[in-house]
Structure 1
Amino acid sequence: MKIIDLNADLGEGMPHEQEILPLISSANICCGAHAGSPEITRATVISCLRLGIRIGAHPGYPDPEHFGRRSISELDLTPLEILSSLETQILSVPQARYIKPHGAFYTESSTMWQTDEEPCYTSWLLLQDILFSTQLPLLGLADTPHEINSKATSVKFIREGFIDRRYDNNHRLLPRSNPEAIIHDPQEAIDQALRLAETCDSLCVHGDNPNAPELLTKVRSALESGGYTIAPK
């Protein structure tokens, strides 16, 4: 049997999240620091429990003005202050069965560094601390420091691919500053999903993508037609 997980970033206060819920098998729930609120987090957890959706914690840098997408080097916070925030965020979702970093935390912790003074190295260490303390599986970008970190901390690694983002020739996500970074065409999203499903455990559509419900509906249908069962792996 071929199994593939469909995940989305939720609990961020986006208007179409209720449309997304029936289409996914895992939800990366915002912990209220980069977006959303504690009330939205709790409501999203309850919705997922009712629908039998696997729950993951989706912590990000505490930078709501920029949706958690600024580099750690741009924040007026020490690494220890950021770590404290990340730990508190994860505790706000006690039902979490895995962790997926958000935004700049995801990007920087999955980027290889050249020196230990680089922001990505600091981010990687923060993620390592969290994985050591929680021992929760990591949903992250395959063949990157995310995978290295999961092995170093002896936690399960869930290989993630993105349905609505384009990759460069090195299989890195194109930065959002690139006008070609986001996939809007459903057929392109379907083609990418079918390709990624061969090597990934879970496929993501971002909850803040206004086309997310349409993309997920069509991608899920195509995956099921291709013989896949939609469920966590």
Structure 2
Amino acid sequence: MKIDLNCDLGEGIGNDEAIMPHITSANIACGFHAGDENIMQATVKLAKRYGVNIGAHPGWNDKQNFGRLEMNVPGEEVEAIVFKQINSLAQIAKAEGATLTHVKPHGALYNQAATDRRLADAIARAVKRFSAELILIGLAGSGLCEAGLEAGLKVASEGFPDRAYNPDGTLKSRSKPGAVIESPEDVAKNAVKLVGDGIMFGERRVFVDTLCLHGDNKRAAENAILLREVLTNNGIEIARL
């Protein structure tokens, strides 16, 4: 059994270098919800140094709320802003002798696309327009994964060991108590369960290809180290997408 470990980085939190050696894929903020060109360049260099996959992490243009405020934007505009962010990171990666492997939307954009097919289709179009070889990462079982598959993209189903789920398989809102799992031991335990049992999305059981750790979690580096150790001890191989 294999699993990819990804983390949302390049968001100016300051712990990227502590996390990077322990993951296999980095989702790098593209300047809209967080980050800037200098941070993107530094994060790409770090990922390249540690042999970590480089992916674009596009979000709403919403630095004030860290991209976690829901927005209602026409599909054509969504496609344009996602494409712009992918292209921005790709150009920086190219200058550093690296290429992108995947795209994973951020925050509210990601969560809205899980249930809003119009939005999911716009994201999939942007990814495919840039490169049909990119992997689209989406919430396991969600409309974003379905949109990616129907667009002819490679898709990776994602699970969140440091987040609580609703009964329908969507993520519990951060505004509710217990939405973020704080204990590294609980995060690692949850990771093993997600890999082994998958997620019930509605009435479907969906298995995950990649696990996400949030880089803005105050114990993100500790979570990454322990999670990798516990997964390996349970016979789960850590491997890039």
Q: How does 1:147-166 map to 2 (within 5 A)?
A: 147-166=145-164
Q: 3-state DSSP class of the match of 2:103?
A: coil
Superposed CA deviations along residues 19-48 of structure 1, whole A, max 9, x for unmatched, are 111110100011111101111001101110
Counterpart pick for 1:105 among 106, 109, 119: 109
Q: How does 1:52-71 map to 2 (within 5 A)?
A: 52-71=51-70
Q: Is 2:240 the partner of 1:232? A: yes
Q: 3-state DSSP class of the match of 1:93?
A: helix
Does the 8 Å contact 1:62/1:82 carry over to 2?
no
Q: Which residue of 1 aligns with 2:38?
A: 39
- Could you say if the C-alpha distance between residues 78 and 168 of structure 1 is closer, same or farther in structure 2, counting changes exceeding 3 Å? closer
* TM-score under structure 2 length normalisation: 0.87
Does the 8 Å contact 1:162/1:193 carry over to 2?
yes
Q: Which residue of 1 aligns with 2:182?
A: 184
Q: Is 2:125 the partner of 1:129? A: yes
How many equivalent pairs are there? Answer: 221
Residues in 1 aligned to 2:124 and 2:3: alpha-carbon distance in whole angstroms: 26
- 1:72 Cα deviation from its structure 2 partner: 1.6
* Partner amino acid, structure 1, of 2:111: T
Superposed CA deviations along residues 160-196 of structure 1, whole A, max 9, x for unmatched, are 1001100111121101111210000122212210011
Residues in 2 aligned to 1:191 and 1:47: alpha-carbon distance in whole angstroms: 28
- 1:93 Cα deviation from its structure 2 partner: 2.1
Structure 2 unmatched ranges of 5 or more: 91-98, 197-206
Superposed CA deviations along residues 118-143 of structure 1, whole A, max 9, x for unmatched, are xx344223213213313221111111
Residues in 1 aligned to 2:141 and 2:216: alpha-carbon distance in whole angstroms: 26
Residues in 1 aligned to 2:156 and 2:170: alpha-carbon distance in whole angstroms: 17
* Partner amino acid, structure 2, of 1:26: S
Q: Which residue of 2 aligns with 1:115?
A: none
Residues in 1 aligned to 2:117 and 2:70: alpha-carbon distance in whole angstroms: 12
Residues in 1 aligned to 2:220 and 2:121: alpha-carbon distance in whole angstroms: 32
* Partner amino acid, structure 2, of 1:157: V
Counterpart pick for 2:228 among 217, 220, 228: 220
CA root-mean-square deviation: 1.5
* Partner amino acid, structure 2, of 1:84: A
- 1:213 Cα deviation from its structure 2 partner: 0.9
Q: 3-state DSSP class of the match of 2:171?
A: coil
Q: Is 2:82 the partner of 1:86? A: yes
Q: Which residue of 2 aligns with 1:96?
A: 100
Residues in 2 aligned to 1:80 and 1:169: alpha-carbon distance in whole angstroms: 32
- Percent of counterpart pairs with the same letter? 38
Structure 1 unmatched ranges of 5 or more: 112-119
- 1:82 Cα deviation from its structure 2 partner: 4.0
Does the 8 Å contact 2:124/2:136 carry over to 1?
no
Q: Which residue of 2 aligns with 1:116?
A: none
Residues in 2 aligned to 1:129 and 1:13: alpha-carbon distance in whole angstroms: 29
